[in-house]
């Protein structure tokens, strides 16, 4: 049995691989069991190395330098604290909420800088992975 420890947005996780059967892996993530089906991509030919890395922008930033977008829930759980309000300026890495999942408190940190335009959840709300928590503009 392989065990992996990692962090997503400063939230610690422990994944234990219980069984591998072809493209299906049975694993335990922070005490909850999942069956995961792997999707394999066809291998692409390797490109020649570039002289310097380049960044590709997927949108434009509004005036004031903030990024538009959303802050989403990284996993299912219950919102226990909200540390910002509509109109607040937030920065990357700032703690904006606490989410309880599997009896653990997880800090939700902003991955965007900007102004809080909308808070889509309230304290005690249950959320699913990927649910929009905050709209930033």
Q: pLDDT tens, 16-59?
A: 888 888 778 888 887 788 888 877 666 556 555 544 333 222 22
Q: So what's the pLDDT on residue 124?
A: 94
Q: What is the mean pLDDT of the chain?
A: 79
CB 4 within 8 A of CB 14: yes
Instruction: Work out the percent of the chain whose per-residue pLDDT is above 70.
Output: 79
Distance (Å, whole) CA 85 – CA 37: 39
65 has pLDDT over 80: no
Place of tokens 């800090």: 107
Tell me, what's the pLDDT at 95? Answer: 93
- For position 54, what pLDDT does the model report? 30
How many Å apart are CA 103 and CA 132, to the nearest integer? 22
- Residues 58, 20: Cα–Cα separation, whole Å: 37
C-alpha span between 91 and 112 (Å, rounded): 6
What domains are there in the chain, each with its CATH number?
Answer: 2-37 (no CATH), 69-136 (2.40.50.100)
Identify the H or E element spanning 81: strand 77-82
Could you give the strand order of the β-sheet that contains 89-90, starting from the edge strand earlier in sequence? 69-72, 132-136, 114-119, 89-90
């Amino acid at each position: 049995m392989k065990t992996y420890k990692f962090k997503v947005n400063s939230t610690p996780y422990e994944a234990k691989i219980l069984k591998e059967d072809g493209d299906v892996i049975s694993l335990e993530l922070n005490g909850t069991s999942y069956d995961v089906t792997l999707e394999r991509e066809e291998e692409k030919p390797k490109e020649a190395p570039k002289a310097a890395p380049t960044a590709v922008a997927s949108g434009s930033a509004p005036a004031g330098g903030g990024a538009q977008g959303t802050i989403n829930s990284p996993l299912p759980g219950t919102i226990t604290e909200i540390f910002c309000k509509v109109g607040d300026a937030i920065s990357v890495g700032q703690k904006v909420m606490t989410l309880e999942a599997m009896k653990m408190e997880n800090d939700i940190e902003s991955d965007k800088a900007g102004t809080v335009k909308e808070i889509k959840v309230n304290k005690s709300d249950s959320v699913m992975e990927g649910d929009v928590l905050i709209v930033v503009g």
